[in-house]
Amino acid sequence: MRSFPLHRLSKLTLGTVQLGMPYGFAVKTHPPNPVETMQLLDAAWNSGITCFDTAQAYGEAESVLGQWLKTFDREQPDPLIISKFPALAGDNTFSFVRDHARQSQQALGRQTIDAYLAHNAEDIFLPGVSDALQSLCDEGLIGSFGVSVYDPEILARALDIEGLSVVQLPASLLDQRFQHSGLLDRCAERGITVFARSVFLQGVLFLSPERLPDHLRPAAEPIIALQRFASEIGCPLASLALSAVLTTPGISSAVIGIADQAQLATNLEALEIRPELDAIEQAKKLCRGLPVSVIDPRQWR
């Protein structure tokens, strides 16, 4: 099994969907202009973020990242890059995966993509897919392979796939399903690197509850309780949210989405504030058991 280079991985990984296409829950934000994008990527790298998450499905994100990667010279250490192939189409799964990996490699201008994931989790089980990914590893076009999941049940099945060494999954104060599933221990036993995404549930965590649409109403009470608790203990909610995920054994890095440098700075400051473990546990208790229709963005209208 090819492992992800954990020794070079930062606690935060920069998500790039926001840099490639209009994205967002409350208001769709548009990607920053090219100059701002390069400045944002530079700022992330210079502040110690070593890993960048992208996908073919993120509009221009792969090529934007590729433009930025050109600014690195060979003497410098390279940023770690994760990308994903889109949902499979057609019968020849083996060729589909290999062709898309080449397209990603070209857009990114990288000899090796450090991790290449199935964006649509079920695709990893189709015949030919893991063989194609393994062959790409053997040829050095990708460093490791894995899957991006939404459901613990799918992750449980994916752990049986030989050679799989990277997983991206949702985890947040509002969505603790994976933390309570026992699967993170199994990932750790198998040496699988786990990335947590949607740590702020696409920003829902920070919304004032009256801005929540009807279908997310069940989140209002825990969000009010969390915001009040954070203010009582004098800890930014972003710090509680990041710590709740990053203190979970088995999770190596949090993939965060940001639209501008101000948000990057806020989250880097938040990362430096380490709430007591007791406070994190109390925060977690305030928001357990939300229905999947609230915590799974695929089910949002």
Ligand X SMILES: NC(=O)c1ccc[n+]([C@@H]2O[C@H](COP(=O)([O-])OP(=O)(O)OC[C@H]3O[C@@H](n4cnc5c(N)ncnc54)[C@H](OP(=O)(O)O)[C@@H]3O)[C@@H](O)[C@H]2O)c1
Q: Which residues bind ligand X (CB under 6 A)?
A: 15-18, 24, 26, 29, 53, 119, 148, 168, 197-203, 206, 238, 255-259, 263, 266-267
Eight-state DSSP code of residue 142: B
C-beta of 118 vs 141, nearer to ligand X: 118
DSSP single-letter state for residue 3? P
Q: 254 or 279, CB closer to ligand X?
A: 254
Query: Cα separations (Å) of 131 from 124, 203, 275?
Result: 10, 37, 44
Shortest reach from residue 83's CB to ligand X, in Å: 10
Give every CB contact of residue 296 below 8 A, 6+ residues apart in sequence: 150, 170, 175
Please check whether residue 32 is in contact with residue 40, taking contact to mean a CB–CB distance below 8 angstroms. yes
Minimum distance from CB of 66 to ligand X (Å)? 16
Compare residues 16 and 248 and give the one whose CB is closer to ligand X: 16
Shortest Å distance, C-beta 203 to ligand X: 3
Q: Which residues contact 73 (CB under 8 A, 6 or more apart)?
A: none
Task: Please say which residue, 135 or 274, places its beta carbon nearer to ligand X.
Answer: 274
Token pair in block for residue 17: 């969907």
Closest residue to ligand X: CB criterion: 15
> Closer to ligand X at the Cβ: 137 or 238?
238
Is the CB of residue 86 less than 8 Å from the CB of residue 120?
yes
Give min distance, CB of 257 to ligand X, in A.
3
Minimum distance from CB of 175 to ligand X (Å)? 10
| Residue 25 near residue 204, CB atoms below 8 Å | yes
Residue 62 contacts residue 19 (beta carbons within 8 Å): no
